[in-house]
Structure 1
Amino acid sequence: MARISVPVSATRLAPPSQVHSAPIRAGVKSSNHPTEPQNVRKVGWEYLWQSIRTSLPLVVIDLMALALAITVSRQLVWLLGGAAGMNLSAMFPPIALGFVIVGAELGLYPGIQLSPVEEFRRLIVAVACMFAVWTVAVLIVQDTFDVQGWFLALSFALCATTLVMARSVARRVLGSREWWGFPTLVCGDDTRAIEVYEWLRTSPHVGLRPVGVIADPSSLELDGSEPWFLGDWSSVRSHAVDGKAYWALVIPSEEAQSDITDEVDSCLEAVPHVQLISELSGLPDHWGGRRPVDGLDGIHIQQNLMLPGKRLTKRLIDLVVATSALLVLMPVLVAIALAVKLTSRGPIFYGHSRLGLDGRGFKAWKFRTMVENADTKLDQYLEAHPELREEWEKDQKLKWDPRITVVGRVFRKLSLDELPQLWNVLLGEMSLVGPRPIVTSEIEKYGDCFGLYTSVKPGITGLWQVSGRNNTTYDERVQLDEYYVRNWSPWLDIYLMLRTIRTVLFAEGAY
């Protein structure tokens, strides 16, 4: 099973520097799956609470299994006349915490939709990491390594065995509880969708609780009275919200194996976790046969910026970096302000109306780089040079803009004029990294992607700024924004911020 976050129609994950040339455009709606452009759904406390309810019992059971296994190992060592050579009461709590952190990173919590083989592998890796940290901790705390090696080996074997057995029992018990697991939509215009629905309904230990089936009634010859049938593809969002569904399993139609965009796109704006079931099997087949087992083979698309924890992480990064940058750059900001004031008439700052989160307007602040009455001067210039009007209407930019002052041209080249937007970041109107802020007249150019664009805060920098900036077309810019929203991660933000430094220093694509 592959767990990656990709644009739906991408044939591969292109490096960020090459995204503008990759076929990543999504958002094209098929007539069979009508949807209205709207904001991407954001999930909040209900999702967090469901994640806690699903994860916490497994955390408790795992820690109990570890404590039991290590205690039994210690007792066996004493019975055989040996000594473990360590204080378990002091060492176990931090080691157990490390196990939980590693387990969460490996996806053991909440541990949804893992095959027995994959869950076994991840448990062994987590235990191995725990024992590696355990060994290093003993070496640091004690001058000599007096822990018996066979005690560690026995503990490792018992921990691995006990964890696997405890997990198996826990899943069976928890699966019988209605509050455990995640409500799930099963989507597909193929009879395999009904089979997957029935399998999930009879396999609650997987942790995906089927709400019902989304399908084109004519494709499955349904009359609408089936108890498991929810509606057609246009109703995905309403059923996801009403049913509090956070997962969707999409089964591609056999007639559309070459293009799965239409099969997946309706779910992406409504469900944070979309699992595209492998077209080779339809149902899980990890054992090499066709019988269902505990795992669904396919590609997992996770909409990170739908999730409250991910959004909180992004906000914390914004606050820490923006505050630090304002403090460090204060002398530079003062120097730029003086240069603006002493070289041209007008205010130091310029606030331009832009569209932000959920389509709300805000003032994006910059150091003023243009002369007074800039709009009037632009109209006069375009009237005198009609051959440049097409260039302006195409990208809302001119290679040589007569409105820009001498020092303003330098500031724009180095992107110094945008430093006041750090204040917008602190106010929560912008993010350090995100799509380029746009004006109302640009909405039409985003088309069906506008709802996706307004699902996040615009950024001071972003994928567009490090991928050619003004040397890219507007369509490529839209694709870059879409790619960013679909594939956001903290590491992507950090990478783009570092790339921005190089882009600014070499003034790549700036004018």
Structure 2
Amino acid sequence: MSETTQTLENKSFTLPPPQHNPALTLSSSASPRLTILILILTDAFALLFAAILALIIRTPFQNGVSIPSYLPIVPIITLCIPAFALARLYPGIPLTPARELRTITLTISLFALTLAALTFLLKEGPTYSRAMLLLSWMFAIILVPFARAMTRSIFSHRPFWGSPAVIIGSGTTARTLLRSLIHRPEIGLKPIAIMRSPYSFSARSIFQTIPVITDLSPAINNPKLLRRATAVIAFADFDSDQYEKILNITSQNFRSTILLPAIQHHASLWVTTTDIDGQLSLKIRHHLINPAKRLTKNILETILILIITPILFPIFSLICILIKLDSKGPIFFFQTRIGKHGLPFQMIKFRTMQTDSHHRLEEYLNLNPSKRIEWNRTHKLQHDPRITRIGRFLRKTSLDELPQLINVILSDMAIVGPRPIFPKDVKRYQADFDTYTLVRPGITGMWQTHGRNTLTYPERVQLDLYYVRNWSIWLDLHILIKTIPTVLFGKGAY
């Protein structure tokens, strides 16, 4: 390999051939191939299990047809795996959950429609009945994402999972990315080194256990690593000449390169690359200004309300009785919150506090100065003395928010959306407040599914803004699915 010269920190240095460089050689156990194999086995198991469930449910209702007569469909279902590969679901690194859910659902749906068309054309009705295909499709779009999520939760912390990554740059953008990759291993990029940028300071103390390098030769010294490694370049950390030279090096040596643009805190989920006369460009789709997509959200949420209201009514009634038996005071609690277009509305919740809550709070904070710091930071207390016995259970299970379904019916809120905020918290959003008010606040949202009360307020703000900027039906669906275990296990609730 010829020598490559690159300028960093206003001085030249050379990336020599591997055999002449005694410097550090990076290594990693992360294996994209093993990750792909595990995901393929996961998908195959989920698809086969979906087919078997469909067989079990379908067969008793079809006279004269036994389970063995349906078995030929099982290997056909596994043909969905190549379709997943064509849809770039392997290794799926990095792939956001909402985009993965969309890709899986559309791929399985297209495969099911193709199989249904072939069944009709080949006149194989008894073997591949429409009911069988419908049930298999329904189970598959549920089981495949669930199985993948379980697989990632089990294996993402293992050394072999994912793809090794070298972060090139050590400014704010690169540091933020590195923290995300360390704290969220399910993303799949395993940082093995970070290359200092000319504008960084005390990088070694910032990145601690991640090796800090000043050039790319430690990575280039390991050809086997390069064949499975990803380079991530932070635009903002280099000037144009340095950036061009680094990009040339990574394109010649690394398996793939991810470009991290200087623009942050903007839409990122539904962005595609495009070529405009040889210029790399990013195309951002703004779903919020698409009337059809917004109408679809309203219709789907209305249907969901109609489905769950009769189911939840007995629970709703029981909670009303328990609140009256537990403490004196009204059943419902009303609070002024900020809604769409910045208009205030009265949010409805089950009452979970004593009627003299303000007096109890002041007395508690005066006796516990350390708790006042917690209160001033989040306006929440982990051991709040104002909460009633039934109120503590309602908050832990989020059942205190059931009356907000009335707000949804009144069009004050949505089922999924940003967290409804107090009027006094408007200033926390600063220039982004107009962005926040583009949508109706939701009963559930990214704040609830990403830590709830364990988050700082700035983190809550960023999650709200991420939701608005990246909104789609698929993001809503992902949040709804993630809300279920959050509510069941009471994660971050108090």
TM-score, with structure 1 as normaliser:
0.46
TM-score, with structure 2 as normaliser:
0.47
RCO higher in structure (CA 8 A, sep ≥6): 1
